[in-house]
Amino acid sequence: MAGYDDRDGWIWFDGALVPWRDAKVHILTHAMHYASSVFEGERCYNGKIFKGVEHSKRLLKSGELLDMPIPYTVEQIEEAKYAMLKANGWTDAYVRALAFRGAGPDMGVSAAKNPVRLAIAGWEWGAYYGDAKMKGAKLDISKWKRPSPETIPSAAKAAGLYMICTMSKHAAEAKGCSDAMMMDYRGYVAEATGANIFFVKDGEVHTPLPDCFLNGLTRQTVIGMLKDMQIKVHERHIMPEELEGFEQCWLTGTAAEVTPVGQIGDYNFEVGELVRRVALDYEKLVRA
């Protein structure tokens, strides 16, 4: 495929649909220098964005947490997403909403005088981890850790928080892995580079407590599904040495959807009945 900057199509940008190749910003855009941007990743299934309103609300909350008020309402953002999808003729697509500090009077750490801009793009995207949805993904263990919430608002989906994720994923791919699992600043199991993680032991599910990383909307959806299935879910701190005792593992995220994990470092997991059921039920839910 062509690079993401060289495609046919339309991107919604600051209130108007813009030809794909014309959706550009100035080199002195504040976000490019100081990571002053927040974003959402969403999926549209059969013409409907799954939990689109919740994603738009979280985008506004992320901007608020970064002292970057986004000048649009949830309703306006939702309208813009569907306008972009319609213009491109898509009913199944990934949707990326991005709000950022643009170029303006300020060009230092402070950027209060610079406008907050909003762009909404999309593209057709299959399984994030390819055939791992059947075989189970292989994960590395990252040397980088999720930071303390005292260093940055960890409830914000902020671009700057993802740099260590990019480095971790690059290192994992160099080892033949699909992704990397990260610990948090205390040494507890946290998440993958762009997805939350779940484990199974003795018919019960264990998942890290999201007290220093994003509590994903897909994560919350899957926990609700498990509880409806009368399966006990433990949201808690998980030590790395516990990995040896878990039987199954999976990742959740808008891009990842529900992806089984077959290996993390030296630990192996079964792509078992529960993870297959959760993946199937999630697929039915999002396409209902």
Q: Tell me, what CATH number does 70's domain have?
A: 3.30.470.10
Instruction: Say yes or no to pLDDT of 203 above 70.
Output: yes
Give the model's pLDDT for residue 126.
Answer: 81
Bridge partner list, 268:
263
Please tell me whether residues 110 and 244 are part of one structural domain: no
- Is there a domain that residue 5 lies in? no
In terms of residue numbers, what domain contains 171? 132-286
C-alpha 31/C-alpha 255 separation (Å) is 23
C-alpha 137/C-alpha 275 separation (Å) is 13
**What mean pLDDT do residues 208-237 have?**
98
Identify the active-site residue in 51, 81, 157, 169. 157
**What mean pLDDT do residues 256-284 have?**
96
- Our CA dihedral for 225, 93, 45, 17, rounded to 10 degrees, sits at 120
Active site residue 284: no
Q: Position of tokens 């792509």?
A: 271
Beta strands in 128-282 (DSSP E): 137-146, 179-184, 189-192, 196-201, 204-208, 233-236, 248-253, 257-264, 267-268
Please tell me whether residues 191 and 281 are part of one structural domain: yes
Give the model's pLDDT for residue 162.
Answer: 96
Please tell me whether residues 276 and 164 are part of one structural domain: yes
Please tell me whether residues 51 and 145 are part of one structural domain: no
Q: What is the CATH number of the domain that holds 267?
A: 3.20.10.10
> What is the count of structural domains for the chain?
2
- Is there a domain that residue 70 lies in? yes
Instruction: Say yes or no to pLDDT of 35 above 90.
Output: yes
- Is there a domain that residue 254 lies in? yes
What would the two tokens of residue 104 be?
């303006």
Please tell me whether residues 62 and 140 are part of one structural domain: no
**Does residue 15 come out as left (phi exceeding 0), alpha (psi in the -120 to 50 range) or beta?**
left
C-alpha 255/C-alpha 94 separation (Å) is 8
Please tell me whether residues 141 and 248 are part of one structural domain: yes
Which helix H or strand E contains 48, and what residues bound it? strand 48-49
Give the model's pLDDT for residue 110.
Answer: 94
Please tell me whether residues 187 and 273 are part of one structural domain: yes
Give the model's pLDDT for residue 1.
Answer: 66
Please tell me whether residues 83 and 140 are part of one structural domain: no
**Contact present, 37 and 159 (Cβ < 8 Å):** yes
From the list 247, 261, 258, the residue with the least C-alpha distance to 206 is: 247
Instruction: Say yes or no to pLDDT of 36 above 80.
Output: yes
Percent of the chain with pLDDT over 90: 95
Domain stop point among 123, 157, 174: 123
Q: What is the mean pLDDT of the chain?
A: 96
3-class DSSP state of 81? helix
Instruction: Say yes or no to pLDDT of 10 above 80.
Output: yes
**What mean pLDDT do residues 148-166 have?**
96
Instruction: Say yes or no to pLDDT of 253 above 80.
Output: yes
- Is there a domain that residue 32 lies in? yes
The pLDDT tens digits of the residues spanning 79-116 come to: 999 999 999 999 999 999 999 999 999 999 999 999 99
Determine the residue type at 7.
R
Determine the residue type at 268.
N
Give the model's pLDDT for residue 127.
Answer: 77
Domain stop point among 123, 149, 184: 123
Please tell me whether residues 117 and 145 are part of one structural domain: no
Please tell me whether residues 110 and 136 are part of one structural domain: no
Which helix H or strand E contains 125, and what residues bound it? none
Give the model's pLDDT for residue 161.
Answer: 95
Domain stop point among 78, 98, 123: 123
Instruction: Say yes or no to pLDDT of 28 above 90.
Output: yes
Give the model's pLDDT for residue 56.
Answer: 98
Which helix H or strand E contains 277, and what residues bound it? helix 273-286
